Structure 1
Amino acid sequence: MQIFAKRSFWLAAGMTLTCSVAGVLLAKLPYINLIGALVLALLLGIAMQLTPLRLRQEASAGTAFISNKFLRLGIILLGFRLNLTKLAAAGVKTIFVAACAVTLTIFLTYWLSRKFGAEDELAILTACGCGICGAAAVMGVSPQIETNDEERKRENEVLAVAVVCVMGTVFTLLEIGLKPLLHLTAPQFGIVAGASLHEIAHAVAAGGAFGQASLDNALIMKLSRVLLLAPVALIVGYWYQHRLVKESKAGEVPTPKQLPIPWFLGGFILTSILGTFLPFSQGVLDTLVQAAYIFLGMAMAALGLSVNFKVIFKRGGAVFGAAVISSTCLLTFAIIMSKWLF
């Protein structure tokens, strides 16, 4: 059994690593970089479903391990990208706008998704993806949601990732086109891009289109939202635990469960502290962040390998509609904040 498990892991690792590295390389190309390395890895993982069924079944145990453990490792390493000194230098205004943007978008997206008929788990994953940092937020919050149907959960994860990818890409192009009409300075536009776009790749693509000042502000604002991933995941976990107890039938005593503390997100904050205050060279930090994207890409590819898309396409309308409205509201909010505070 142990030999089978090792074979399954290495087979899955080879398949997902291929997708992840290819995603990173493709994300360096013009126009394709709007999609982002993580979503590209997911799409390549989906393409891997064309491989022989026997091969995918043999890799399934390893795929489950990679989608769980490598995700956490990738998010921990991603903390090296977050420079706390730069965030502090950006001032209270940046943190305030980020906190408002995340809070309002999560609540609005979740509420609209539920109103439009989406199931609860899909609604909260989509809301967190739109509010915080796209695919990484979806996958970071997902472990906090307990479920007895892992296949359904994977479907919800992929659908939520698809929503934030499409919305982020569309709004990146929209914002670049609207910039001359909005009469924003380059630094103001960077604030708008970082506060309103979903993936880090989207914020970089839009901010970088109008110079270094725009790109710097886009990254600082976007990473301010990324910093909120840890507290949001913790809140979601406690909320679901509270609901499980509240919704248990009268007379039943719910089984005690471990508190849903996202320790790996604590690791994310620790690495951001280490990256900020220890004398790492920029080359070392870039390498660590690149490793983070490799591990996250492997987790996304593993997710793509194991999803039933026939079911997903039947359930996407509600969350897509909610995301369109909430993304429009988020963009409007970001424009107002950039003109008022920056």
Structure 2
Amino acid sequence: MKWWRRIATVDMAFIAVVTLLASLVASWLKQFPGFSLFGALIIALLIGMAVQFPIRGAYVGGNAERKAGVKDAAGLISNKLLRLGIILLGFKLNLEVLFTQGVKCLPIAAVVVTLVIVVCYAIARRLGVDPMLAILTAGGTGICGAAAVMGLAGSIQVPDDRQDEKNDDVTMAVAIVAIMGTVFALIEIALGPFTGMTTTQLGITAGASLHEIAHAVAAGDAFGAVDIATIMKLSRVLMLVFAAVAIAYWWGRRHVDDADRAAGKRASVFPWFMLGFIGASVIGTFVPALAAITPTLVDFAYIVLGMAMAALGINVNFRAIASKGRMALLASFLTSVLLMCFAAGVALLLF
């Protein structure tokens, strides 16, 4: 059945309302101390994971048809809204600022993202992590946390019978980069004053090494360098476009088997929604009439992405995550240590 025919169901309406409420609550909670370090997307995921139990007990019960409907609705929301949210997130990128004030940050971002993805993936695979979880964890660690995981997930095609496994890997990767980002944000904030680095160097280190935008902003604010930390971080966010295209091509060539090719499935699928991300960035930067509503569009992007994250949480398989996540967490930790040291070295050398 085509996806648009699956929208007009009671289960879809129910899950849409639940995920919207979860996203709105997450957006409200992120303004409070402690919650702000996690960000709205992570909070929405946690809410989704929590509400799956009352949904099963009070709404689904023993009704197999309703269980299938809930699973399908949550899967559709997480799949389609994550692409829409990533496109709208493009309005957050001011290309004029990046290509003027951030001109020195862009090549650093390209090197950081490339090295981190390659190194983290290699470490994860050496530790026995499966390829999907390894590449999603590597992308989230190297680019921009949860948004990068979701963006890369939208670029990677898997057979229908592996979609649940992919969703679990997405959830696990998001959780890993959230934990690592928070831990290393606290480490950098604590150690920063004792390093002897200048304010600018501390801001560059935070923007080049921390995972979520919220983490980089929090650390940059603590150092009095929020502007340069944000520019450095957004330079890494821009790399999501190139990483998504490259990884989509690589995944298709490396992980689509001969049987799938014989059945007519494409070896690689271009992530067209990334063109929307770039288009939104261009429009938000060079169309003055939209300047006043750009913050509203970005807020809406986070609401949409929050719904997708909550939907992922509703369908998450806790047993699969518990059994698969430990080595991926270790890979992200080891890579994050290397990343922090590399970012500090670059900041000392170039700033």
Cα distance in structure 1, aligned partners of 2:287 and 2:246: 30
Q: Secondary structure at the match of 1:320?
A: helix
Q: Describe how 1:27-46 pairs up with structure 2 within 5 A.
A: 27-46=30-49
Q: Distance in 2 between matches of 1:168 and 1:282?
A: 31
The secondary structure found in structure 1 opposite 2:197 is: coil
Q: Bigger shift: 224-233 or 48-57?
A: 48-57
Letter paired with 2:322: F
Unaligned 5+ segments in structure 1 are: none
- Residue 158 of structure 1 is matched in structure 2 by 171
Q: What corresponds to 1:266 in structure 2?
A: 275
Deviations 1:154-180 (A, max 9, x none): 111111111100000000000000111
- Are the counterparts in 2 of residues 8 and 60 from structure 1 also a CA contact under 8 Å? no
Per-residue deviation, residues 219-273 of structure 1 (Å, max 9, x unmatched):
111111111111111111111221246x538xx8463427411111110000000
Matching residue of 1:141: 152
Separation in structure 2 between the aligned mates of residue 281 and residue 260 of structure 1, nearest angstrom? 32
Moved more, 10-19 or 180-189: 180-189
Structure 2 distance, partners of 1:100, 1:90, is 18
Query: Runs of 5+ in structure 2 lacking a partner?
Result: 61-66
In 2 relative to 1, CA 31–244 (structure 1 residues): closer, same or farther, beyond 3 Å? closer
Cα distance change, pair 293–52 in 1 and its aligned pair in 2 (3 A): closer
Give the TM-score taking structure 2 as reference length. 0.91
Partner SS, residue 90 of structure 1:
coil
Residue 151 of structure 1 deviates from its aligned partner by 1.3
2:269 aligned partner, one-letter code? P
Matches within 5 A, 1:124-139: 124-139=135-150
Counterpart for residue 22 of structure 1: 25
Q: 2:172 corresponds to which letter in structure 1?
A: L
* CA apart distance, 1:303: 0.1
Q: TM-score, normalised by structure 1?
A: 0.94
From 185, 190, 200, give the equivalent of 1:177. 190
Look up the match of 1:102: 113
1:133 aligns to what SS in structure 2? coil
User: After the TM superposition, which of the residue ranges 24-33 and 256-265 deviates more from structure 2?
Assistant: 256-265
CA separation in 2, counterparts of 1:109 and 1:339? 24
CA apart distance, 1:294: 0.1
Q: 1:230 aligns with which of 241, 252, 256?
A: 241
Distance 2:280 2:11 in 1: 31
For residues 154 and 3 of structure 1, the distance between their equivalents in structure 2, rounded to whole angstroms, comes to: 19
1:55 and 2:65 matched: no
Deviation at 1:55? 2.6
Paired residue type of 1:296: L
Instruction: Letter of the 1:235 partner, please give it.
Output: A
Matches within 5 A, 1:113-132: 113-132=124-143
Paired letter, 1:138: V
1:108-148 per-residue CA deviation (whole Å, 9 max, x = no partner) reads 10000000110111100100000111111111111222223
CA contact 1:234–1:261 (8 Å) conserved in 2: yes
CA distance in 1, matches of 2:267, 2:336: 35
Counterpart amino acid of residue 31 in structure 2: K
Residue 314 of structure 1 corresponds to 323
Q: Contact 1:190–1:207 (CA<8 Å) still a contact in 2? A: yes
Aligned residue pair count: 337
Q: Which of 229, 248, 266 is the aligned partner of 2:258?
A: 248
Q: Would you say the 8 A contact 2:250–2:268 is kept in 1? A: no
Counterpart residue identity of residue 98, structure 2? L
For the structure 1 residues 154 and 91, does the alpha-carbon distance in structure 2 shift closer, same or farther, using more than 3 Å as the test? closer
The answer to whether residue 80 in structure 2 is matched with residue 69 in structure 1 is yes
Matched, 1:218 2:229: yes
2: distance between equivalents of 1:179 and 1:101?
Answer: 20
**What is the percentage of aligned positions where both structures have the same residue?**
47
Q: 2:342 aligns with which of 310, 327, 333?
A: 333
Displacement, 1:5?
A: 3.6
Q: In 1, distance between residues paired with 2:214 and 2:147?
A: 11
Aligned CA-pair RMSD = 1.9
Distance (whole Å) between structure 2 residues aligned to residue 293 and residue 4 of structure 1: 22
2: CA distance, partners of 1:259 / 1:168 = 31
Q: Which string of whole-angstrom CA distances, capped at 9 and with x for unpartnered residues, describes residues 190-214 of structure 1?
A: 1111100001111111111122xx1
Which 10-residue stretch deviates more, 48-57 or 7-16? 48-57
